[in-house]
Structure 1
Amino acid sequence: MLAALAALTLSAGCGTIVQGIAAGDGPGPGTGDCTATGDEGPPTRVAIDHNGFEAKHIGHTADGGQFFLTEPFDPGTEGDDNARGFVALYLFTADGTFTKAEIDEADTRAETKRIMRQRLDELGKVTSDRIEVAPFEVKEFGESFGLIATAPATADDIWWVTAQPGDYMAFSAPWDCGEYDT
């Protein structure tokens, strides 16, 4: 588990821009020109395009709601064996308002896969596609989970929305682009 989390930690800071890929059909909606549009203020909604990476399990439920099933992590303290992995299912209304989080701690890769399958099964029929959701934060297991908006610290800084814990997806304006940095 620690090796897997360490690998995630190393890849989380690599600075890779990930464009949404919709079920192998090429670029998804919103993956065109992603340059700043003057909408660099705090986000009310953040778009995430479905892809085969961190946004593999996102989309819409049969009742029209939106979901994001993901694997946040706490890399722990360097030199200590205290890294932790989680499975988080975030649910939203059709308009992207956050409604609920189901968060489980997972000690092994096998347990993570089992919980992921269970959470997907609980959702019933889903469509894997682009979501547009409001930033949010919930506290569980002594951690902050969610898509957390952070205001600029200086005049030269920008707004960010990051998937936490683990800072494994980072979004910046334009908020409807659908792309993220890893």
Structure 2
Amino acid sequence: MEGRPKLIAIDHDDYHAEHIGRTHDGRQFILTNPFDPAIGENPGCEFVALYTFDLSGQLIDAKIDSFGPRSSLDDDARRAKYDERLISLGDVSFERVEVAPFSVERFGLEFGLIARPPEEEDDAWAVEMQPGNYMAFFEPWDSGEYDT
């Protein structure tokens, strides 16, 4: 589809992109905390997600752990799993990644960097980190910047 991004650049920062980069063998990774927002009767959930990509930015694996509703979140357990996932990568460098949009389903939710086509003629493509839409990307796709 015309305008759909092939790769999204994400620059390392101290916020949502704190733990992105490359492993010693060159694979790219994104370690993040997606969330299912609380809406109505849905209490919302917290997750730890480790996405790994090959050298060309194609998804290799998605390891996603659920920590249940935010109201009963065991933050120590979530933090321990996050640290475990980071350590599992071995020696890493935190730096810019360039990865293809992707989507995987876990826990009845869609996770990933999901490309959204324009809804109207004057709209633009968007790519959103889901669930939670906590990182949104727009053209130019190689800027490395995102909106929250």
Matched, 1:62 2:24: yes
Same amino acid, percent of matched pairs: 50
Q: Supply the distance in 2 between the matched residues of 1:135 and 1:169 (Cα, whole angstroms).
A: 13
Residue identity in the other structure for 2:79: K
Matched, 1:111 2:77: yes
Q: Is there any run of 5+ residues in structure 2 with no aligned partner, and where?
A: 68-72
* SS of equivalent to 1:51: coil
1:60 positional shift: 0.1
Equivalence map 1:139-150=2 (5 Å): 139-150=105-116
User: By percentage of residues, which structure has more strand?
Assistant: 2
Selected match of 2:95 from 129, 138, 150: 129
Aligned length: 142
* SS of equivalent to 1:102: strand
Q: TM-score, normalised by structure 2?
A: 0.93
1:82 positional shift: 1.5
The 4+ residue runs of structure 1 with deviation greater than 6 A are none
Q: Is there any run of 5+ residues in structure 1 with no aligned partner, and where?
A: 1-39
1:81 positional shift: 6.1
The aligned counterpart of 1:178 is: 144
Q: Supply the distance in 2 between the matched residues of 1:157 and 1:77 (Cα, whole angstroms).
A: 27
1:137 positional shift: 0.1
Residue identity in the other structure for 1:97: Q
Matched, 1:85 2:46: yes
The aligned counterpart of 1:22 is: none
